[in-house]
Structure 1
């Protein structure tokens, strides 16, 4: 069969961009098909705009504490149009990194349009047939919308239209206490909106409960209201909405708000591309793949949010580079998520890598050891006047299984634990490292050293030290 390309990539989000760019940079012929915007969800209505909004909210929160550290600030005046302009500017400045021109410069052929897979090696786009030995599906995900009575008849927000708001919400009601719900709850509250979060179970359920408890307490102090329950009905119109809630304790409550944000998770975007017709298996959580991200049709890969697996931008990029390397070299490249990190950008941040304490105990039982260090003992944190939070190091013997951190810039502290989980470093190396003083990263050294402290200062080392001292006194 004569092929038009070496690889066809469908979807120009983090996964697809990395895969297509990687193949092209090795000199092979790659084509990238995108039916909407280059950059995908992360650039246009996810990571970038949300972090820009969080930054503006943080500035308002800092000014809201009138006097601190002997410095007095004026109360903040939030200009919503200015906040939205900052969000749009952040997108505009990053946009060139993901542009058509940038990827054409790498050698990628970029085709705007809706792709349909017609065979194990063929794709149709606007009447044109593309063929390649390998096809890569990177079609991303979309907001999950729960089956709530009346929801389809009221105006509601998701992350896809949240950042288009022309006016600041007076009272934002958020359905969902996951990453998006928590980040946006704090951001909008800090910018001056009243905020209510409705969630039926534990907030940020995949994170360590002790870490989440710290964030919840901070957000409640700032005025965010949390309701433990399930929204069973929605009604109203723009600016005047009501949700009826079935409370977890058995009661009920109605909450009125001006805006409603649905943030209950994401759903793989894998229907409508012809995949089922060519034999690609699709499960309840997305396209089914093996560890190499091959689908049931072995010449077709699925990477990023469209497949069943972690939905994180950095996971998408990692899988894109893996698949590009496999296509170029022919050498199998399996995903390894033992040290998968993630961070929720509330203040304080909640960061996790590897197993949580609960996950580790479920797998290893009483063999698990937990070392906990608080930022109240970290001298940089004390000097900054922000000692909220802690680090929990989850160990089996001296081997790191995971780390849970809550505190200022917690996400920046994960790297050494990622290295340790994959065997590229060790707790002994971390505990004996020379770290710049004063820094928050000293908490990582303290936790790692705590794991070795019983060994280093145990009976045998003490006996040895006593012997050396005795010999020195004798022969000095």
Structure 2
């Protein structure tokens, strides 16, 4: 494997999801010769099967739920009728409206060569491309960015291949073929995807059962957050089975796609019937047929090993996005892409370690869940001394008038200081509200600065300031207040 004396490209990017697109964009912006290779749809998972279609579906479901709750605001409406083809039309049109931003035409116009085909590393510098039209190209790259993403986990459970299951990727094609929402939906997995889609389908009229192996939903979040989400799902009619694991499946030969699942908990086994089975059990890196194993880039567990600068054992081969983790968010893929592109192009001169210090996250259930930095569990596990401040949204004026009083703002600060080390919000527009706390953490603004910032009244954002106020009251300087009390008494004469 001799290093070429000359290279066809400065950078070759494999995969046109968020990480790949941003890597190619950056390379073109600094006038590098860059080729982007994608066999499937431009935009990757987020645009075509992930963020965009799921949020479009959630929006439709929320409209139905708002119609059901309109009577408490004095607006009487009948039970909404769900027209699934029209719902899917909104999903499809949402994707189509965003597609031009990720299109071949746009990136070609930016100076990126886009090849439609399957890439494979022949050696550390050579990429063989089997084009979709049947032809073949071979390119050498001074640097290579792997951005092939991740795929849904499908467990090897007995009978699973005999039932017609869907994942977060294949769900949309199935829904496009159905005349109506499935009557009975079984969702395996109580993480973000499972909770979001379980609630959405329940609101669209399905009878939904959500099964989670862990003792609670959203196990990565603190327990109070899990409790609010669980209560919300139960109140809307989702059957939530935590501490429960699927054992086996059996197809219903009388109904296409339908079947039964046997699940097990400490109470024993039970059988659940379904018309549609959705697997939401996490995602694993996509490494198949890329030549990574042959080059020794993947460990025995199927993980691509990278350093703090996203470099593999060959420093000119880098990885970004869901392929490498540790956070599988679209915004993290875009964040990593800058480091991958810059380190690939300029790493011989100066390299940069990825900054993971302030990473926002969100789950688009209702009420929304959002967070940044450490959870309380993580702080305890790492032995970090902290203070917890909580402000309940039921006390917030805007939440009261909007009828959205469920939730809270929880902020972790370093013990004895106003420095924010983590925050979580549950409530209406939590994913928007967290941005202020992300900004505060990123630029070292503490609770005192947050409290001293004017917030528009009445808005949900005021909850952040009130949380800062609660922190201030808990950390009031007692000696100074005693002195002021004496001073004012003296002033009265």
TM-score by structure 2 length? Answer: 0.92
Q: In the aligned structure 2, how far is the partner of 1:446 from the partner of 1:343?
A: 21
Runs of 4+ in 1 over 6 A off after TM superposition: none
2:234 maps to 220
Residues 390 and 283 of structure 1: CA distance in aligned 2, closer, same or farther (over 3 Å): farther
Picking from 278, 291, 296, the partner of 2:295 is: 278
Q: Is the aligned partner of 1:73 residue 2:73?
A: no
Secondary structure in 1 matching 2:65: helix
Counterparts of 2:281 and 2:138, CA distance in 1: 38
Which has the larger displacement, 125-134 or 427-436?
125-134
* Per-residue CA distance 1:42-71 (angstroms, 9 max, x = gap): 111000000000000000011112512222
Q: CA RMSD in A?
A: 1.7
8 Å contact kept, 2:145–2:344: no
Say which of 375, 390, 401 aligns to 1:383. 401
**Structure 2 partner of 1:298:** 315
Q: More deviation in 445-454 or 3-12?
A: 445-454
Query: Alignment partner of 2:217: what SS?
Result: coil
Structure 2 equivalent of residue 234 of structure 1: 249
Cα distance between partner residues in 1 of 2:395 and 2:201: 32
CA–CA distance in 1 between the matches of 2:437 and 2:338?
22
Number of equivalences: 471
Select which of 425, 440, 449 maps to 1:429.
449
The yes-or-no answer on 1:392 pairing with 2:429 is: no
Which sits farther off after the overlay, 390-399 or 430-439?
A: 390-399
C-alpha separation in 1, matches of 2:321 and 2:466: 36
Matching residue of 2:133: none
Q: 1:319 aligns with which of 336, 350, 360?
A: 336
Corresponding position: 1:145 with 2:154 = yes
In structure 2, which of residues 322, 327, 352 is the aligned counterpart of residue 310 of structure 1? Answer: 327
Distance 2:477 2:304 in 1: 52
Structure 2 CA distance, aligned partners of 1:263 and 1:410?
23
> Unpaired segments of 5 or more residues in structure 1?
none
Q: For residues 21 and 213 of structure 1, what CA distance do their matches in structure 2 show?
A: 42
Stretch moving more, 301-310 or 449-458: 449-458
CA distance in 1, matches of 2:375, 2:185: 31
Residue 27 of structure 2 corresponds to residue 23 of structure 1: yes
Q: Is the 8 A contact 1:7 1:136 kept in 2?
A: yes
Q: Deviations over 1:177-219 (max 9, x none)?
A: 1111110000000000110111111211111211121111111
Contact kept? 1:185, 1:224, Cα under 8 Å: yes
Alpha-carbon distance between aligned partners in 1 of 2:47 and 2:325, rounded to the nearest angstrom: 22
1:439 aligns with 2:456: no
Structure 2 distance, partners of 1:29, 1:429, is 45
In the alignment, the residues of structure 2 paired with residue 84 and residue 143 of structure 1 have an alpha-carbon distance, to the nearest angstrom, of 22
Matches within 5 A, 1:188-267: 188-201=201-214, 202-228=216-242, 229-237=244-252, 238-247=256-265, 249-267=266-284
| 1:346-366 residue CA offsets vs partner (Å, 9 max, x unmatched) | 00011111111111122235x
